[in-house]
Amino acid sequence: MSEKTSQKIFLNDRLVDRDQAVVSVYDHGLLYGDGIFEGIRIYSSRVFRNQDHIDRLYEGALAIRLEIPISPEEMTAAVEKTVAANNIVDGYVRLVVTRGAGSLGLDIRRTSNPQVIIIADTISLYPEELYETGMKIITASTIRNHPSALSPRVKSLNYLNNILAKIEGTDAGTLEALMMNHKGEVAECTGDNIFIVKNGVLKTPPRDAGILEGITRKVVIELATEAGIDVREEAMVRHDIYTADECFLTGSAAEVIPVVDLDGRKIGTGTPGEITKKLRKRFQEYVREA
């Protein structure tokens, strides 16, 4: 929206002006990254796969023992209300729940009033031309958090692991970076899931590779299956990407974007492949239908 001063933010139980949307400096979401979030797309004024995102949010909260102060039904309605209040036609929702304010220290028993924050705005993660020409990425030396240390299935406010890998990518002149897991297998990129195509088969790392189970990833798998494409979730190493025929990334903000180069190695022909283009087109159609 052009007038940010008129933007409305949902904070706890009501819509407030953007400059009134504040939380305590003692909130453990700020002090320790203690909280969870979701990034949700809006297409044609409709919240895309809202229920999937709300389900994942509450599962994450359960996993970290965070009690969200409103019900899933109330949260769903709050998201819809925020989108409508900001007249967003095509955009993005950032839904955040913090642990709440407390004393200095890690003890969650000394916190109270978890904060529910919903922001509806526009977003452009990558330049539009990269969706046509494909993007280059590098492999980060920063590996994905060990799943026994922090479950990748929890979309937590502590994104430092991903940020450090992202820094490596931007330092190398790329907008994304591939992250490996503790076993040296392909996990995901800093903000996106990854797919490759080899001999007509669509492949993506499985859940136990240490990935976030992306909503867009789920949709793309569904669309590919409907199109008769053989889809396999299996462990991969960098060699599989270097020698792939096609590669692309998926994410709520990124949608479906082709990758044509990893670590200076051309993938396939060095241009977006036919299956990638087909799935991207079908995804764009689907989000308008859903």
Q: Which residue has tokens 């409305």? A: 8
Note the pLDDT tens digit of each residue in 267-284: 999 999 999 999 999 999
Helix (H) or strand (E) holding 132: helix 130-133
Helix 215-226 × helix 274-289 angle, to 10°:
110
- Residue 58: per-residue pLDDT: 98
DSSP 156: B
Contacts with 166 (C-beta within 8 Å, 6 or more apart), sequence order: 176, 177, 190, 191
pLDDT at 36: 98
> What span, in angstroms and rounded, lies between the C-alpha atoms of 92 and 34?
23
Catalytic hit among 136, 155, 166, 203? 155
Query: What confidence category does residue 2 fall into, taking pLDDT thresholds of 50, 70 and 90?
Result: very low
Q: What is the pTM of this model?
A: 0.94
- DSSP-based three-state secondary structure for 85: helix
Q: Decide if 203 is catalytic.
A: no
| Per-residue pLDDT tens digits for 189-222 | 999 999 999 999 999 999 999 999 999 999 999 9
- Provide the b/e sequence for 32-66 (b: ≥16 CB within 10 Å): bebbbbbbbbbbeebbbbbebbbebbbebbeeeeb
